[in-house]
Every structure is written in C-alpha cells, then in structure tokens.
Structure 1
C-alpha cells in the first residue's frame, strides 16, 4: 500500500510542478534527482534486489533530502511543500 501511496504522491508532485509557478533550475534539479532516486528505491523494493546500501539507510537518506527540499519549498513555493511532506512521510512509513 505504501508503494502505491508514494507513486500517487510523485504523480501529484509532477502535476503540481507542471501547473504551478516557475521553479528555479536548482530546485527543479533537486526534485528530479529525488524523484529518480525514489523510483530506483521502489524498483529495488519490488524486485527484492540486494542493494549495496541497506534499504533503510537509503530510505533515511531520501527522507532527509525530501524534508530539506520541503523546507525550501515552504518559503519559496508553498503550493509544492505539502506534496513533498507527504512523500517524506510515506518514505518514513515504509520501514525506517
């Protein structure tokens, strides 16, 4: 269920980015990298593949990055912040 939740949150983030105001290139790059890393994590979880970094460590790192980006968004792009917070919460609930 949490994998479906995070996929839905990522889709919501993409939709919000497309419909919202301009996001600076640095922040957009951070969001794209985070999205790619989360997608990779989901693939690893789904395939049950062995990772070099324990899954909980990778999730923890992604949660910290999502929370950091969320804090920046709260000030500059408040319409995106709730979606990032939701993603961080979902990652946390996945087993950290």
Structure 2
C-alpha cells in the first residue's frame, strides 16, 4: 500500500511539473533522477533497506526546498514525498 501511495505521489509531482511553465533544466533533471531511483528501489531487493529510503527522503526534501520559491505548487508534493519515503522504512 505504501509503495502504491508513493507511486501516486510521483505521478502527482510529474503532473505538477508538466503544468509548470518554466522549469530549470537542472531541477527537472534532479527530479527525474529521483523518480528513476525510487522506481529502481521499489523494484529491487533494496525495497526493505531503511537507509535507502532515508537517503531518498533527504533528496526529495532538498528538491522541495529548491522548488519552493519558484514553484510553490510543486514544493508541497515533494515535501510529502520526502515524508512518505522517510516513513516507509519505519
């Protein structure tokens, strides 16, 4: 269930990103890398490694801070994603 919620939040983040007129290429690449890493972890043996989710959570929260000023609608999705990633390992 948690993994499905996580996938839905990723889809929400991409939808918000698609609806944003101007996105910095670097931030777009960082979000895409995070997305790929999360999907890789969910489909591998690492899906039970708490430290992997903690690292992904930190990356998501760092992205939310970068997006906060320029893309306030995307920032809450990334923050929620970071919180969910942190809770998965618990």
- The normalised TM-score by structure 1 is 0.85
Unaligned runs of 5+ in 1: none
**How big is each residue's C-alpha offset from its partner over 1:22-52, in whole Å with a ceiling of 9 and x where there is no partner?**
11000001000000001111112xxxx2x5x
Q: 1:63 is matched with which residue? A: 57
Kindly report the root-mean-square deviation, in angstroms, between the aligned alpha carbons of the 2 structures: 1.3
Q: After superposition, where does 1:2-21 map in structure 2 within 5 Å?
A: 2-21=2-21
Q: 2:31 is matched with which residue? A: 31
- SS of the counterpart of 1:76? coil
1:89 to 68, 83, 87: 83
- Bigger radius of gyration: 1
Contact 2:54 2:89 in 1 (8 A): no
1:21: how far off?
2.2
Q: How far apart, CA to CA, are the structure 1 residues paired with 2:52 and 2:89? A: 11
